[in-house]
Amino acid sequence: MDQNDEAALVGKVLDGDVGGYRYFIERYHKGLIQHIYNIVGDEATAEDVAQEAFIRAYDNLSKYNPEYAFSTWLYKIASNIALRFLKQNSRFVPLNEDSVLNADKAPPPDEKLDAQLTKETVVTAIDKLPTKYRFVITMYYWDDLSLKEISEALGSPEGTIKTWLFRAKKILRKELYGQV
Protein backbone atom coordinates (compact mmCIF):
# COMPACT_ATOMS: atom_id res chain seq x y z
CA MET A 1 0.00 0.00 0.00
CA ASP A 2 1.58 3.32 -1.04
CA GLN A 3 1.08 6.83 0.33
CA ASN A 4 -2.00 7.50 -1.84
CA ASP A 5 -3.64 4.23 -0.81
CA GLU A 6 -2.97 5.09 2.81
CA ALA A 7 -4.52 8.51 2.36
CA ALA A 8 -7.59 6.83 0.83
CA LEU A 9 -7.77 4.43 3.77
CA VAL A 10 -7.62 7.38 6.17
CA GLY A 11 -10.64 8.76 4.33
CA LYS A 12 -12.51 5.48 4.81
CA VAL A 13 -11.71 5.43 8.53
CA LEU A 14 -12.95 9.00 8.81
CA ASP A 15 -16.17 7.90 7.12
CA GLY A 16 -16.76 5.43 9.94
CA ASP A 17 -14.75 2.32 9.01
CA VAL A 18 -12.99 2.09 12.37
CA GLY A 19 -11.66 -1.40 11.56
CA GLY A 20 -9.64 0.05 8.69
CA TYR A 21 -7.34 1.67 11.24
CA ARG A 22 -6.02 -1.77 12.21
CA TYR A 23 -3.92 -1.73 9.03
CA PHE A 24 -1.91 1.27 10.28
CA ILE A 25 -1.29 -0.31 13.66
CA GLU A 26 -0.23 -3.63 12.13
CA ARG A 27 2.09 -1.98 9.64
CA TYR A 28 3.80 0.58 11.88
CA HIS A 29 3.70 -0.66 15.46
CA LYS A 30 7.01 -2.54 15.44
CA GLY A 31 9.02 0.34 14.00
CA LEU A 32 7.27 2.86 16.19
CA ILE A 33 7.78 0.92 19.42
CA GLN A 34 11.44 0.41 18.50
CA HIS A 35 11.79 4.13 17.76
CA ILE A 36 10.30 5.11 21.10
CA TYR A 37 12.33 2.47 22.92
CA ASN A 38 15.49 3.97 21.40
CA ILE A 39 14.52 7.28 22.97
CA VAL A 40 13.08 6.29 26.34
CA GLY A 41 15.07 3.09 26.89
CA ASP A 42 12.24 1.13 28.48
CA GLU A 43 10.16 -1.51 26.71
CA ALA A 44 6.91 -1.14 28.66
CA THR A 45 7.04 2.65 28.40
CA ALA A 46 7.74 2.38 24.69
CA GLU A 47 4.58 0.30 24.20
CA ASP A 48 2.49 2.69 26.31
CA VAL A 49 3.76 5.70 24.40
CA ALA A 50 3.20 3.93 21.06
CA GLN A 51 -0.37 3.06 22.03
CA GLU A 52 -0.97 6.63 23.10
CA ALA A 53 0.44 7.81 19.75
CA PHE A 54 -1.86 5.50 17.77
CA ILE A 55 -4.91 6.65 19.74
CA ARG A 56 -3.97 10.31 19.41
CA ALA A 57 -3.42 9.86 15.68
CA TYR A 58 -6.85 8.21 15.39
CA ASP A 59 -8.51 11.06 17.32
CA ASN A 60 -6.85 13.64 15.07
CA LEU A 61 -7.12 11.74 11.79
CA SER A 62 -9.00 14.62 10.20
CA LYS A 63 -5.86 16.77 10.65
CA TYR A 64 -3.62 14.34 8.75
CA ASN A 65 -2.05 15.94 5.68
CA PRO A 66 -1.83 13.34 2.84
CA GLU A 67 1.15 15.23 1.36
CA TYR A 68 3.29 13.53 3.99
CA ALA A 69 3.66 9.82 4.65
CA PHE A 70 1.39 8.52 7.40
CA SER A 71 4.44 7.07 9.17
CA THR A 72 6.12 10.49 9.32
CA TRP A 73 3.03 11.99 10.90
CA LEU A 74 2.81 9.10 13.36
CA TYR A 75 6.49 9.42 14.30
CA LYS A 76 5.96 13.12 14.91
CA ILE A 77 3.10 12.45 17.31
CA ALA A 78 5.05 9.68 19.05
CA SER A 79 8.18 11.84 19.30
CA ASN A 80 6.18 14.61 20.98
CA ILE A 81 4.72 12.18 23.53
CA ALA A 82 8.16 10.64 24.13
CA LEU A 83 9.66 14.09 24.55
CA ARG A 84 7.06 14.94 27.17
CA PHE A 85 7.80 11.66 28.92
CA LEU A 86 11.53 12.39 28.93
CA LYS A 87 10.99 15.82 30.42
CA GLN A 88 9.05 14.25 33.28
CA ASN A 89 11.20 11.16 33.81
CA SER A 90 14.73 11.87 32.69
CA ARG A 91 17.09 9.10 33.76
CA PHE A 92 20.20 11.17 33.25
CA VAL A 93 21.15 14.77 33.58
CA PRO A 94 21.93 15.66 29.96
CA LEU A 95 25.48 16.69 29.18
CA ASN A 96 26.05 20.38 28.98
CA GLU A 97 26.09 20.90 25.24
CA ASP A 98 28.18 24.07 25.25
CA SER A 99 30.89 22.79 27.55
CA VAL A 100 31.29 19.63 25.49
CA LEU A 101 31.22 21.36 22.12
CA ASN A 102 33.62 24.08 23.22
CA ALA A 103 36.03 21.65 24.79
CA ASP A 104 39.19 20.52 23.06
CA LYS A 105 38.83 18.76 19.80
CA ALA A 106 37.36 15.28 20.24
CA PRO A 107 40.06 12.64 20.34
CA PRO A 108 40.59 10.86 17.05
CA PRO A 109 39.12 7.35 16.73
CA ASP A 110 41.41 4.76 18.14
CA GLU A 111 41.02 1.13 17.10
CA LYS A 112 42.21 -0.16 20.45
CA LEU A 113 39.71 2.04 22.24
CA ASP A 114 36.95 1.10 19.78
CA ALA A 115 37.38 -2.53 20.71
CA GLN A 116 36.88 -1.71 24.37
CA LEU A 117 33.63 0.17 23.81
CA THR A 118 30.77 -1.96 24.98
CA LYS A 119 27.22 -1.64 23.74
CA GLU A 120 26.15 -0.42 27.20
CA THR A 121 28.77 2.31 27.20
CA VAL A 122 27.55 3.63 23.86
CA VAL A 123 23.87 3.43 24.88
CA THR A 124 24.59 5.23 28.15
CA ALA A 125 26.48 7.95 26.28
CA ILE A 126 23.55 8.36 23.87
CA ASP A 127 21.14 8.54 26.81
CA LYS A 128 23.17 11.42 28.23
CA LEU A 129 22.90 13.47 25.03
CA PRO A 130 20.67 16.55 25.01
CA THR A 131 17.20 15.42 23.88
CA LYS A 132 17.27 16.81 20.36
CA TYR A 133 20.62 15.13 19.66
CA ARG A 134 19.43 11.84 21.10
CA PHE A 135 16.39 11.97 18.80
CA VAL A 136 18.55 12.61 15.76
CA ILE A 137 21.12 9.92 16.59
CA THR A 138 18.53 7.21 17.29
CA MET A 139 16.35 8.10 14.33
CA TYR A 140 19.28 8.22 11.92
CA TYR A 141 21.32 5.23 13.07
CA TRP A 142 18.74 2.96 14.67
CA ASP A 143 15.47 3.73 12.87
CA ASP A 144 17.29 4.12 9.52
CA LEU A 145 15.35 7.28 8.70
CA SER A 146 16.76 9.72 6.16
CA LEU A 147 17.63 13.31 7.09
CA LYS A 148 14.52 14.41 5.19
CA GLU A 149 12.27 12.04 7.15
CA ILE A 150 13.79 13.14 10.46
CA SER A 151 13.35 16.77 9.48
CA GLU A 152 9.64 16.18 8.73
CA ALA A 153 9.09 14.18 11.91
CA LEU A 154 10.79 16.73 14.16
CA GLY A 155 9.51 19.76 12.26
CA SER A 156 12.99 21.27 11.80
CA PRO A 157 14.83 22.10 8.55
CA GLU A 158 17.04 19.44 7.03
CA GLY A 159 20.13 21.65 7.47
CA THR A 160 19.43 21.93 11.18
CA ILE A 161 19.09 18.16 11.49
CA LYS A 162 22.45 17.75 9.74
CA THR A 163 24.04 20.17 12.21
CA TRP A 164 22.47 18.38 15.18
CA LEU A 165 23.75 15.05 13.88
CA PHE A 166 27.27 16.44 13.48
CA ARG A 167 27.26 17.95 16.97
CA ALA A 168 25.75 14.83 18.51
CA LYS A 169 28.56 12.73 17.06
CA LYS A 170 31.14 15.20 18.30
CA ILE A 171 29.73 15.04 21.84
CA LEU A 172 29.57 11.24 21.68
CA ARG A 173 33.19 11.00 20.53
CA LYS A 174 34.28 13.22 23.37
CA GLU A 175 32.22 11.27 25.89
CA LEU A 176 33.22 7.82 24.69
CA TYR A 177 36.92 8.27 23.96
CA GLY A 178 37.32 10.42 27.01
CA GLN A 179 35.97 7.81 29.40
CA VAL A 180 37.32 4.51 28.07
Binding residues vs another protein (CB under 8 A): 18, 21-22, 25-26, 29-30, 33-34, 37-38, 43, 46-47, 50-51, 54-55, 58-59, 109, 111, 114, 117, 119, 122-123, 126, 137, 141-142, 169, 172-173, 176
Sign of the CA dihedral 144, 55, 156, 87? Answer: negative
Q: In this complex, which beta carbon is closest to another protein, that of residue 7 or of residue 113?
A: 113
Own/partner contacts of 93-101, CB < 8 Å, gap of 24 or more, are: 93/128, 94/128, 94/129, 94/130, 94/131, 95/128, 95/129, 95/130, 95/171, 95/175, 97/130, 97/133, 97/167, 97/171, 100/170, 100/171, 100/174, 100/175, 101/167, 101/170, 101/171
Q: In this complex, which beta carbon is closest to another protein, that of residue 86 or of residue 171?
A: 171
User: What is the nearest approach in angstroms of another protein to the Cβ of residue 126?
Assistant: 7
User: What is the nearest approach in angstroms of another protein to the Cβ of residue 35?
Assistant: 11
Q: In this complex, which beta carbon is closest to another protein, that of residue 33 or of residue 95?
A: 33
Q: In this complex, which beta carbon is closest to another protein, that of residue 155 or of residue 171?
A: 171
